[in-house]
Amino acid sequence: MTARAHTIKIAEVVRETADARTLVFDIPDDLTARFSYRPGQFLTLRVPSERTGSVARCYSLCSSPHCDDRLAVTVKRTAGGYASNLLCDITIAGDPVTVLEPLGTFGPRGLDGDLLLAAGGSGITPIMSIIKSVLVVGRGSVVLLYANRDRRSVIFGRELAELERRHPKRLRVLHWWESDRGLPTSRRVAEALRRHRKREWYICGPLGFTTVLRSAAASLRVPTHQIHLEEFRSLASNPFEEPTPPRESATRAPLTTAAPGRSAALEVDIDGRTHHFRWPRTERLLDVLLNNGINAPYVCRESACGTCVCAVKRGRTRMVRNEALIDAELEQGLTLACQTLPESDDVRITFEQ
Ligand SMILES: Cc1cc2nc3c(=O)[nH]c(=O)nc-3n(C[C@H](O)[C@H](O)[C@H](O)COP(=O)(O)OP(=O)(O)OC[C@H]3O[C@@H](n4cnc5c(N)ncnc54)[C@H](O)[C@@H]3O)c2cc1C
């Protein structure tokens, strides 16, 4: 298991709607620094399972680091889903829960720009954190498109109405209830958002929703570097149960003895230290690091969550798959360690932000 897991206590469970519960956490004083976070980041919860020991599920923080004292996530039931129903049904205040420290790359770097935020159902969680943060410490304005089945399934409806009342010039909420307007389609969403195409877009929700929004943005010719996505789905992997990958393919051999051509020389900066390893050509960067006892951040290992993002400072690499990074980030040299293979003989990577 990654060493970035901690067991913390649930301080409170809040019923938001028939299908959604907010879990508020108590963070002990000695872990406060480890649980500092940016708006848009998520926690990964270990949910016990009799069949597999546990499953890992990500839940975005709906609290704001700028105005909420306690960290909170909101879980919405997924029909037929394992963890979400368990969390909504049996979790009570005082329960311990094992979680990874906050992770993720979704969310604006600054809070002063004008944003178009789009949330489908439970996708409101990181968006809520962003909205509160912008309104409290930023200068930007926010337009929110918020799609739900009907009025009763709206999470944070009252809180949003109150924020809109307090900040009428800076927050505008456009509700989309399927009960009234049908499912959002690319064409109709584009019509509704045409005026906002110059803004930075942050889109969050299940796959169907993000697909519609992405297509609406494309039809409005919103540049891809202005579009940021967080897609809610379950992890196929489990960072709590997985053994680290087998050691034999990675090597601690000194740089001079490794066969040239079959591996690259890797220099990596992480957690304030610099390490040197041989990097076999067919082995992904994250595996090389974990095999060598480096506590690199990761969650999904499927290129989706963006947790293992790092930067290539020297040499060339390629990614086997990329679902998290946009073109502008690739141009800056960012890469996902779980998918990265070396292309040149000498590569320097940094995880330092
Ligand atoms: C970065 C991130 C942040 C997230 N934040 C939130 C959040 O704030 N709030 C929130 O509610 N969710 C969030 N999610 C989604 C969350 O992690 C879970 O995916 C969600 O709760 C569903 O998990 P589950 O265990 O209930 O469903 P699962 O058991 O994983 O099931 C999901 C779907 O797959 C179907 N399914 C399950 N098993 C099978 C099978 N064997 N064959 C076919 N179909 C199957 C189920 O019927 C269901 O429709 C987030 C996801 C990510 C990646």
Contact 244, 291 (CB under 8 A): yes
**Domain of residue 24, CATH code:** 2.40.30.10
- Do the domain assignments include residue 52? yes
- Do the domain assignments include residue 241? no
- Do the domain assignments include residue 60? yes
Tell me the per-residue pLDDT of 178-222, one tens digit each, with 9 for 90 and over: 999 999 999 999 999 999 999 999 999 998 999 999 999 999 999
Nearest-CA residue for atom 24 of ligand 1: 81
Domain count, the chain: 3
Q: Give the residues surrounding ligand 1 with Cβ less than 6 Å away.
A: 42, 57-60, 73-76, 78-85, 104, 122, 125, 230, 232-234, 305
Indicate if 201 and 298 belong to the same structural domain.
no
- Do the domain assignments include residue 238? no
Tell me the per-residue pLDDT of 305-321, one tens digit each, with 9 for 90 and over: 888 999 999 999 999 99
Return phi, psi of residue 321, to 5°: -150, 150
**Distance of alpha carbon 82 from alpha carbon 167, whole angstroms:** 39
Distance of CA 234 from the midpoint of ligand 1 (Å): 4
- Do the domain assignments include residue 223? yes
- Do the domain assignments include residue 71? yes
Q: Which structural domain, as residue segments, surrounds residue 68?
A: 5-103
Indicate if 137 and 219 belong to the same structural domain.
yes
Tell me the per-residue pLDDT of 43-71, one tens digit each, with 9 for 90 and over: 999 999 998 899 999 999 999 999 999 99
- Do the domain assignments include residue 199? yes
Tell me the per-residue pLDDT of 231-290, one tens digit each, with 9 for 90 and over: 999 988 888 886 555 433 333 333 333 445 689 999 999 989 999 999 999 999 999 999
Distance of CA 256 from the midpoint of ligand 1 (Å): 47
Indicate if 97 and 159 belong to the same structural domain.
no
pLDDT recorded at residue 298: 83
Indicate if 138 and 227 belong to the same structural domain.
yes
Q: To the nearest whole number, what is the mean pLDDT of the chain?
A: 91
**Domain of residue 273, CATH code:** 3.10.20.30
Closest listed residue to residue 124, CA positions, set 149, 151, 144: 144
- Do the domain assignments include residue 239? no
**Distance of alpha carbon 104 from alpha carbon 82, whole angstroms:** 23
Indicate if 83 and 25 belong to the same structural domain.
yes
